[in-house]
Every structure is written in structure tokens, then in C-alpha cells.
Structure 1
Amino acid sequence: MERKHAEIEREALAAVEDALEHPSDARSSFVLKHEKLSDPAKARAIALLDAGMSGGGLMTGGASACDDEDEYPDRIGGYRVLRLIGRGGMGNVYLAERATDDFDLVVAIKLIKRRLITKDLIERFRRERQILADLNHPNIARLFDGGETEDGVPYFVMEYIDGPPLDRWLKHVNPPLENRIAIFEQICNAVETAHQRLVVHRDLTPPNILVADADTVKLIDFGIARPNDRPETLSTGSAWTPGFAPPEQKDSGEATTLSDVYGLGKLLGLLIGGGAPAELTAIASKAASQDVENRYPSVSALYEDIQNYRGFKPVTAMRAGPTYLFKKFAQRQRLAAAAGTIVAAAILMTLIIVTQAYRETERARAEAEASLADTRALAGTMMFDVFDEVSNRPGNSRARLMLAQNAQSHLEALAADPDASYESRLAAGRGFFRLAAATGTVGTGNLGEMTEGLALYERSADILEKLYAEYPNDEVRLALARTHVSLTRDKSLAYVNFEQSREHGEYARDLLLRIENPSPAVIAELGMVSRELGGVLGCCLGKLKEGHEAIEEGLLLIKSAPSEYREDPAVRRAFNDLLNLRAGYQIVFDGDGASIELFSQALRNQRQLANETNLPADHRLEATIATNLARTLLRMGRPTEADQVIAPIYLEALSAYRTDPADNDLQRRLAVISIARAYAAAQKSQRNQAEDYVEEGLRLARSSEKPSGAQAKPSLNFAHRLQEASEAYWANNQIGKSCELMRQSTALYRQYAEQYQLPFTSLRYRVKPMEEKMKNCS
């Protein structure tokens, strides 16, 4: 019976596909006159045309129509249903909110219609849930949770996207061409990420692309997507949307990554409309070619041609005659000074030019003035513009170090010149700051060489301090303060010297308060130094009152800043981190329960910021706050809520780590998150999962430790991970393993305390509870 229904569905969809080639008022007539179409298939095709055929997908936003026959449950899992917001061929989507009041979370929940449940449909639904769990991208709707209702109906909890589908956005907003291209680039990036995970979407259509606030795209409905378990090809059923399905998918039901390229070509054609530049039309036509061999070989190749168009370079989809090529060359020359996008080829070219220019200055010093100026400009471009661009993209820890090291050799030579200019010395001081951040620091992507990183920060401070003595202006003052803020953070969080950390922080705060013309950058640094002082005073020196006052001062300072300053991403990031630490103080003063609201507020704020900027720094802070909230919930015996908080962060961190396994900070962060997931799984009696997570966390913790320099002393970070893992093992009823880890952890704490001052919070919240629990160990 199901097979016959599938055949009718395939016939109907093929007829609708053909009907869409006719004017809208002639389509029903075309279907009714179709000689080879069965009556049931004709009826189904007419119904699809009347419904405005959206592919049978399920929306995670408010874009899809609803009908009166849909069921309306009061609750699904741990969520309270608010209303039905979408429906498709396989099920419904409900707007819901968390049923508990500890923190707010509005979601979209996808649920199969009971009257349609079959074994195949349930399998397809579960497949989509797994696919979404494996995908992590700012332009793909996020999976938060999943499960089954009491009567066995599967569901999953998605990010709620409050935005219209692509075609409705185009109609009502009518954005300029530049915005349309930017939207298309986001779609390409999302699809490319899916392909890298061996997933083909198969239904890239306007209803499956929602446009949220600030023109941010969210790709949804992977219900007919499947893992690509054979190279290039995968075979599925008949689900596809007329008007956007490639010929091979209609004929055989098989889809490849090139099928998605076809869908992207159709979307690009919709976005640019009629009257678009010939090059964009050519790109859309090539992508949506009926012949698979004539399409772009990958999404990345299509995206590259879009970048060629943007950069006034020859587009491969065009017939490139001499006149066309010359025209592109001339356009590039006119706009060379305004070039803003830096790609890998530009990085390599800059390195080559800088090196060659420097050699020439050494060979011909007498003729070097002009070349020296060029070298300085190019080195500065590589050290600052290119470095910052690479830093804002994940997976580039080694590239950041390479850029900093290559450029720094030239900037250091300039700074060593007794006749070096103000600009050269300032650039050298800032350059050492960036080199430190790439070599070894806390909280950013780096290679984990903490001793070298601290030495480079000290070198930056030395250069800038001497410059400040001669030029006590706001520019140098801010650069010097930034270096001391970093020294405050790293000497505290790497447990190097707490008193020195405090001194660096107080000096940085004094410098910042002396700046005559504050800017958002100054406000952000003041917020950051308040946070770092609050941390070292409370956590490490046991001065809780002073630390809490530092946090409150930082929050008040940001709240008092002009409104336009408070909207700056760096200021918002600093404010959220201050809220995060204020929540930590609430635990000390009033217990775990008092911190939940503050942690939740900080997490909501930071998650919104991370979604807006997609910067690694914002995703790192989001993970930190989420982990703090999850661990607090776990201490309160609320593992389900904790896992809902930590699960999406785990997937995001795991994806980032796989992209850049050399990033030491990512290793440390994933170790913390993995052990937290282990603790949650153990509390939910998921013993095998708990053991897998804790072993993963310990492996990452060990690999992130460095055997020399700042890490040669007993590692408190590793002692912390052992203590956290012992909690997970204890909750998992693996008492022997827990006791062994507690012995190792307390031994490290004792070794550290014999030489250095043990942080107040480590003693109160880690060592003493372990000592009490170890009384039960044999």
C-alpha cells in the first residue's frame, strides 16, 4: 500500500514539475489533460498546485500555513506548546517554551503526525535529527534536543527562526542586489558545510531558507537529506520540490552534491531576477545546467565565481574573450585601493612581496628609503589587516602564527633602528602583542606555548612603555593598556603569579581611565580589565569583597556609556563576561540556585552576539558561559536541563576542534565540555555514554598540557580536569576510577601548594570536597 502511494506521489510531482513550465492559470488544465497520468495522481497534482507546493518540508520558523485538523498537544517533552506554526507532508512544527521557569528558551518542535506514522517515516524523521546533530553552522538552524513522546512519537527541538522564507522576503523587502548576493553567499556556505559532512540537502528551495533579523539566512528542513554513504551519489525516495529539482533527481531519484549545485543555481536566478548583470546570469545558468557535466563541480567552485564577480575578476561562466579580460583587469586596477576582502592567495602574495622587499633593502641601503616605506606598509598590512582577518576565521591557529612571525621579523628590524619612527615603534609593540596571542595565551586560538606567549606580551609592554614615556597620547595609552589587560588575564588564569596579575590589571585600568577621548574600544577594555581583576581578586587571592566590587564597577561603567557604545560587539562581549563572573560570585555568596538567572541572561546575550558576529571569540565565550551554567545545574541534580544547555555547545566545539586540532585553547575547552557531558550522562544513568565522554575529556586534557615553561609547574588546569572527571565517574558508579583520579588530582594540588599560593576557589570547591569524599575510598 505504501509503495503504491509512493508511485502516485512520484507521478504527481513529475506532473507538477511539467505544469510549472506553463502560465499559472493553465497549470490545472495541463494536469487534467495529461494522458499518461492516473486519476489518483491527477488529484494529488491538483492538490499540490492548489497548496502552492512547498516540497512537503517542515518549517522551523513562522512561514508555513496551518490547518484546523492538526493536533495541538499541551506539552512535548520538557516544553510547553504555545501554538502550531508550520506543517508539512510528514508532520507539524510547534512554537514552544521551556516548561520550567529557570531560564527562557523559545524553540520550534518538529513532531510527526500520528495518523501518518509508518516505519519508513519514523526512520526518515530520526535520520533528519541525526543529520542536524552533526551539522553546526551559523546559517543552519540548530538542533537543541530530541526524544520521543510518551506514546513513542519522535520529536526534536530546533532553534526557532522568526523570519519569512526567501521568496516572501524578496517580495516584501525588495533588497538591493548587493544584499541578495550576500544572502546567496550565506546559503552557499551552509550547503558547503553540509557537503563537508557528507550530507546532501536535496531540496534547496525558497521555503527551506528563512531570512531572520539583520538579513541572516537559516537553512532548514533536512528531512530528505541523507549522509552521503557512497562517493558522490546517494539514492533516496521521491521527495523533491518541483521547479528546483534537477533532471537526474526527477528521473531516477538519485541526488549528488551536484544536485545541490543545481538548486543553488535556481536560487541565485530567483535572487537576482531579471535585468541582472550578465555575469551573474551566466553563473546562475551554469550552476543550474540541465547537463550535470556543465555545472560547477562543487559549491566551492560556484562560490569562487561569485567572488570573482565581486572582485572584478573574470567569471568562469562567461565566454572569456580578450575584450572581456581587459575590461576586468581595468576594473580591478581602478578599485585596487578599496579592496577589502583578503583571501589565502592575497596572504601568500603579501608574504612573498614583503620578503623580497626586505632583501632588497639589505642589499641596497643607500637606495632603501622608498623600499623601506613600502616594506613597512606591507608588513603592517600583513601584521594587522591580514592577521585580524585570519583571526576572525576558525581553523587558522597555525596561519596566524606564521603571519605574525614572518611580519614580525621585519617590524622588529624597523623598531631596532635608532632612527625608527613613532609609527614603526608603535607597530612593533602591537605586533608583539599579536604574536603573543598566536603563540600561547588564554581564551583565543593559539598553540599553547604559554611561556613564550607571556615573554612576547612582556616584550610588547616594554616597547610600548618606552614609547609612552616619549609620546603620552591616547593611541599609545590604549595599546599599552591592552597588553597589560592580557598579562592580567594570563598570569591569573595560567596560575603564574596572582600578585603580578593584580598589578598589571590596576595599571591597565589607570591607563584607560586617563584616556581623554573614550571610544567603544576603551569602554570594552575597561570592562575586560574589571572582569580580570574581579577574577584574580576573588578566585585566586581570596579578596571576595574587592573582586565583587570590581565586577560591579565594570557593569556600571558599561551601563553608563553612550547607547551607541553599548551596541559595539566588543563592549557587549565584555558586558556578558562580567555577567558571567557576577553569577559566579552569586554562587559564593548565596549558593548555586541564586546564579541560574544570571548565567541564563549572560548566555542568551552572548548566544545572540555569537550568532550575529560568528567570531571565534564570541563562540568561545558562549561555550564558557554555557559550561558554567551546565555545571551549576548538574550540582543541583538537574542533568536534563544541563544537557540541553551543553549539547549544542559540545557539537560546536567538536566541529571547531576538528577544523583546527592544533588550537590548544580549543583542546582545553572541549576537554571541559566533554567531561561536563559525561557528568550529565552519568546522572541520567547513561553509563556507556558517560564513560565515552569522560575518556574523551581526559585525552584532550592530557594532550593540551605542555611539558615545559609555564606548564612545567604542577598544572592546576589538569588537576581541575581530573577532579571534574572524578565527579563524573562517581556519578556513573565507577567508584574505583573516581577514587584514583581524586588521588591524582589532590596530589597535584598539594605539589602546587608547596611552591605557590593555591587559589581560594580551588581549595574551597575542589580540594576540600574531594578530601571529604575520599574518606569513602578503600
Structure 2
Amino acid sequence: MDLATERFLRIEAIFQEAIEAPEKVRDLLIEVQCKGDSQLMSEVRLLLEACKAAEQVDETWRSEAGTRGVDSLSLRRVGPYEIDKLLGRGGMGAVYLAHRADGQFEQEVAVKLIDLPLATALFRERFRQERQILAELQHPYIARLLDGGVTSEGDLYLVMEYVDGRPIHQYCNERQLSLSERLGLFLHICEAVQFAHQHFVVHRDLKPDNILVAPDGTPRLLDFGTAKLISPTIDRLDRTLTREGYSSFTPQYASPEQILGRTITAATDTYSLGVLLYYLITCALPYELKELTLEEMIRVICETPPRRPEHQAGSHKKIDVDLEAILMKALRKEPQDRYRSAELLASDIRAYMARQPVAARKGGFRYRAGKFIRRNSVLLLVGSFLAISLLAGITGILWQSHQTNIQKRKAEARSADLRQLSNSLLSELDQAIRDLPGSTGAQKLLVSRVLDHLDRMAADARDDRQTQLDLASAYIQIGQVQGDGYFQNMGDTPGALSDFDKAIAIANSLSMLDRKDREALRVLALALRSRSETLFRAGRTPEAVPLIRQATSAFDILTADSNASASLLAEAANAYGVMGDELGQPMIGSLNDVYGAVAAYRTDLSLVIRARKTDASVARTLRVAAIASMRIGEIEMDTDPVQALRDLDVALQFLDAMPKGEQASFGSARTRSAVLHRQAISLNELGRYDEAARLFDQVYQADLKRQSADPLDTRLLEDLIGDLSDEADGYEYAADPALARNPADRPRNLRMAASLYAKAIPLAEKFLRQEPANENLQETLAELILDVDSLHFALHSPGETKHQEKDQLAILRRLAHDTADPFMLYAVANVFLRVEPRSLRDPQFTLHCAQGSVERSFGTIPAMQLALAKAYRVAGQTARSREEAGKGLAILPPQRPNEPKPRLRKLLEIEAR
């Protein structure tokens, strides 16, 4: 970027920040952002004056239009919505009150769109970020995203729930809420902020004006336009915005790290929550910014201790010392000294309201005893009267206790024997055969022998914590053997889910009994992770994601301890890897949140690195790191195959660094094949078809050897089907006239593709017999059959087809139902786009599927944009085809110089012409 362009972008970014801020703090923000550059400050102020003059002209035009009986705003349509009036304007957009005007149903909404003259690509990307953030944040206390898209003028817009409410501080004061009522309302806000943090979102501008309370008392958290989405892609955008001068905050609620431009974390929001709580309780702020200069702001916020709260909600009642301790901890200068999460802050508030000890006090025995006495004063008074009566029964109780202890010792001995037997069966037998080829039959025998034993053991373990923990762990191991798709398993998904439920029930009950029981929390996290990954592999992603979020939240609590063991860190890393898969692993039914997925994989890697530093000998950490690197490369395969090859090579380096014995294990060898498979796909995307074919053949032979040794393992069938069909895709790409280097090779490439698809069909049929309800398998088989017939038709050899086209197309129509995920709709649309003969194609149905895939993926996948562009072209809508292709190109990362152009970019450019 040349210096002139960089300076213009910096001026623009500071202008956008200043125009969004209240007028009284604009000069302060300009001074902060310009960092003493007087010429830069002058240019920004001139731009603000010009913008103000333009707004005055615009207001005059609107006034004149009103006198002519024309309301310009009411005539503007945004999708199916008609704008009623302007609600507010900010640096990145304006918010309007609108109503649905297509006759479907009546609904008032808030529409936010970029309508400023300086809305360049940088701020459009920030707006897209807000849309992606809101799409994930479905929570009762967060204003919901209802719709989104692009206006006829090309502006991005969001349609959000309209909250007809009052700012939280005004609501509290107008209704004269008590302290407990204010705290209860604040707890709802903490819940919303914690939910956002679990989605890797830091709000960064929590203040009363961004929290509206509806008349029924329900709060709504608004305005994620300044939020930070913790993922590598968004981090790059945030760094760009910061470098160009954009650093958004409201001074009175900003944390010291925001003022100083340091790293933003969840603790940034907990600081703002502390300021908000202070204001709700005292009707005053903890600091007073008199001059609103940069020096004053740094001195007051970063150096001056907050004022001690003196009165409650305008009265002169002293603030309780516990509540004061909570406020002071939330407002500490260093992030590591504050509450690390909104949930921990809320936990202390709940403890305060229940008259229990609060963590911020760090009180000793006397403090805790005093709390206990105040909570139970009535009971203690009654207890003193009962003491004499109790003494009379001591003799009888001692005798009963003696008999009980005898029975307890017998039960403990029996439980110890049962535990030893269980651990022996599970640990020794399972580990001996889990990675052994052909062991599925032995695993069935193991499960049938152990399950009855565990169920009997449960009846004797109710009062024995350690036995219950061992029992829960045993159920997890059995469930993994039965049907966890992340392990070699027997394909018994219902049985696995049942056993995971047993483990969750046991671990959850123990955790509820003692919130500080770290081992119970660890077992609970492992059980939640196992159930989640099993549901995900069974195609039930919406059910799986909440569980994996609970699991990672539990691991976050456990790994916050600086002394966390390497094995615990490795378990937490595994959980984040599963979260990444469920959020954004391509084409297998994920939620298509690629930003969230990459963020989860990066967390996975950081935990692995931390585990390696703690204890490099811990098994499987390198394999976990390899899988995380592979997943990141997998996300990049279509859009940036050159970078994907680099990340996949890092995955191979992790695998190569493993001990030789571990490299040869079943899991590690299968992971290596998966990495090489993805490298082959990336080579196909770059047009290096011969290299890809050789690599696919190498992977297929290794996978075939494993599958032959254990034909009952469904994962290996899935691997083989993927090897054959993805290699066939490469031959089809090579036969495409738009991509082919040698058109004379087209017949040979088509024959090779047809042969590979045909080879995959019996494998898919076998897999489907084992899982007949699996819709992804049904789609895969139908697509393979249609691909073979269509290719033979293209080769003018219809005698080799089985003429099953209409039956298979009927299956695909059934699978493209109203609740189908975007990947299913995308796959069906692609089949209908290329099925032969052409008389079988249905342009309108194809367009419907392609539109659904883009809408349900929020327009974030370039390959789906390509399918939609093709569908519009086939339907005769050429202009829309070019428009959708352009959107797909806009999603792709910039084309780096001296690097080959990927297949997807080439095809999108063709459609965009």
C-alpha cells in the first residue's frame, strides 16, 4: 500500500470513529487517534465539517420533499421491508425503524445499513463481521438477527429485532428498582455477555445506551458493530483497523487496555460490566473525566483508583462491604486481576444475593462462619433448643453408626473390587485392541461383557464419590467403543448416546454437590464432548454444538489454573478441535461458521503447545496439533489452496515428530492419510491433476489395507468413498473445457472419473445398509449413481448406464427439504446443474436449492455462490448470475502475485463476465 493510500485510509477510519461518537467527545477521540499529528487532526476535522454540511443539505431536501407530500424514507425498500423513520446514525451505518411490507406477516424491525459516502471495503468487511457475529448470537437477552442481505443499490443491511425499551439505567431509576432487582437485571446482562464470549465475541462497548430493557423487564444487549470476533481472519481485520486509526470505545466505560491500545480479552468486557454495575448501584461513575483530554483519560482510568461506592441508587445507605469488594475486583487495572469471565462476576453476585461468601473478599474461616450464621440464624436458634434432646439419643446413634460403618466398609470393599475389575477390562483390554486392525468384533465382545457389569456397579456406587467417577469414565470409554465417530467404533450410535447420558448424569450430580470438585468437572466435560462428537458424526449438528460449548466452558475453568496438567490441557485441546469441526468443517454438516472454526482450531493449537511445554512426553499432543493444522488447511482448500498446502505440510511435520511407535498406530496412520487426501484436493484446485491423482492412489491403497483388516469399521468405508469420489472430481475438473490444459484428453478424463465413481457405489451401498437413516449417505449414493450415468451419456455410451436417473433425482428432491442444511442443498443443486440428459434438469428447483444453500450459510461460502450463479444463468437470469459470481469473488482472499489462480476463482470470474 502506498503512503497516500494508507494516509487516506487512516483519515477515513478516524472520521468514521469520530462521527459515531457524541459531539462532546469527538475532539478527544480525534486527539487520541491522531496521536499528536496536527495535520492529520486538521484533515479529519475538515472532513467532519464537510459531512455536517452535506447532512444539512440532505435534511433540507427531505424537508422540501415532505412539503410536496413525499416521504423519501418511507419509499425506500430494503428487501421485503419498508423504512418508516430514522432511529439513529453511527459511524458504520444508520438504523431505521421499518416494517415488513411483502404481505407475509406484520412485524416491526430495526434495519441497519451502510449508507455513508465513505463506506469502503474495509468498513463493509466490518459490517459483514457484525452480521456474522449476530447470526451466531441467538440468545434471549441479545437483540436477534432476523434477516440480512444486499439492497438494490448494493448496500449491505441487517434486519434486527426492534426493541421498544429504555436504557437500563433509566429503566431502573424510573421504576425505582431495589438493589436486589437491579442485581437480578444485571445478572441477565452477564448471562448475555458470557454467551457472546463463548462464541469468541468481545463486545468492547458495554454501556447503558447499548442495553435496552423492554416494558416486561427483559433486557436486550445491542450494537455489536464494535465487537471483536476472536479468529485469525477477524484479528487481521482488527489489526488493520487499529493500524489505520480505528479503535472504538466509550471513554467512561473503557478499560485501561482499551485506552492504551493493548490486547482486548473477555476481561475488557468484565471491566465495562463493573462500571455499569457501579453506575446502576450508585447512580454515579467510578471516575470523573472533567477535561476529556487524552492525558486526563490515561491518568484517571489507567492510574487513579476508582472511588469507593458511598450510596445506593440515590439514597445514603452504605454499600455492603461484599458488594464493594465485587465492584473493586471488576474495576482492577490489570486484566489478570479482574474477573476472568462474566460468569465468574455473576457467580459472585449470586453468592452475595444468597448471603454466601464471595470470592472477591477472600475471607477466612471467621468470614465464612459469619455468613453461615447470618444465613441460618433461625435454624441455629431452633438447634440450640434441640441440643439437649439430641444428647439423649447419642448412645443409640453411636450404636447405629457402628453398624452403618460396618456396612459401609463392606460396600467400599465391594466397590473397590468392582472398580478394579472395570478399570482392568476397559483400560487394558480396550487399549490393547482399539488400534488393532480387525478388532471390531472383539470390541463387541468387550461391550457385551462390561455393560451389565457397569450397570450392576451403579447400584452400589451411590454414596462412593470415587467409584462414581470411575463409573462415569467407564461409561465414556464404552460409549466411544460403541459409536463415537472420532474413534474406531461399532456403529452403535444409540447405544453410545445412552452410555454418555449415564456418564453425564453421574458427573453432573457430583459437580452439583461440590462446585470445586475439579475431577467431577473434568469427567463431565469429557462426557459432554463425547456425546457432542457422536451427535455431530450422526448428522445432528444443532444438537451437538450446545454440548461442545458446555464442554469447552468447563475446560476453560479447569485450564485457567496455571498448574493444569499436560494431560488435562490435551483433553481441552481435543474439545476445541471438535468445536472447530462442528462450527465450520467443510461439507460435513457443520454450522458453516468458518471464523469460529478457525478460532477454535487456533485455541486447540495453543493448548497443545502449552501442554507440550508442561510435559513433552504426554501422548497424542502432536497428533492433536496435526489434526488442528489439518482442519485449518481443510477450510482453506477451496478458497486458498496454496496456503492450505502450507498448513497441511505443518500437519505432516507434527506427525513426523511423533515417536515411531506412535506414528504406526491406527489413529496416527489414519490421520496421515487424511492430511495427504486434503493435499491432493488442494492440488486439484490448483490444476496439478497428475500430482493429485498419484497422491490419491497412495492414500487409497493405505485406506484399503486398513479397511480390509477391519471391514466393520464404518469410518474406513467413509474414507474409501471419499478417496474415490474426490479423485474422480479431479478428472472431471481436467475434462472441463474452461479448465483443461489439453482438450484432447477429455474422453480419457471422463472415463477415469466414471470408473472411480462406479467403484465407490458398492462401498456407499454397504455403508448405507449399516446406517439406512443417514441422509448424507443417501445423497452421496444418489449423486454417485447419477454421476456415472451422466458421464457415460457425455461419452455417448448410454448402454453402460443403468437408467436410474429419475429414481435418484426423486431421492435428492426428498432430501432437499425445508430443514436441510446448506451443504445438502448445495450438493443437490450441483447434481441438478450437471445431470444428463439435460431434459432431466429442473432450472427452478435447482435455483431454489442454490438460493437456500447461500441463505442458510449467510452468503459466506464462495463455492455456494458459484452454484447460485450457475443456477441463475441456467434459469435465464444472466444479470443475477454475474451479480452472485461477483459476491463469490468478493469473499475470496486476495490473489497473491506469482501464485497460480485456483479453480474456484477461475470459474467465478467466468460467471462474472
Indicate the TM-score class for this superposition, using the shorter chain for normalisation: 0.3 to 0.5
Give the TM-score, by structure 1 length: 0.48
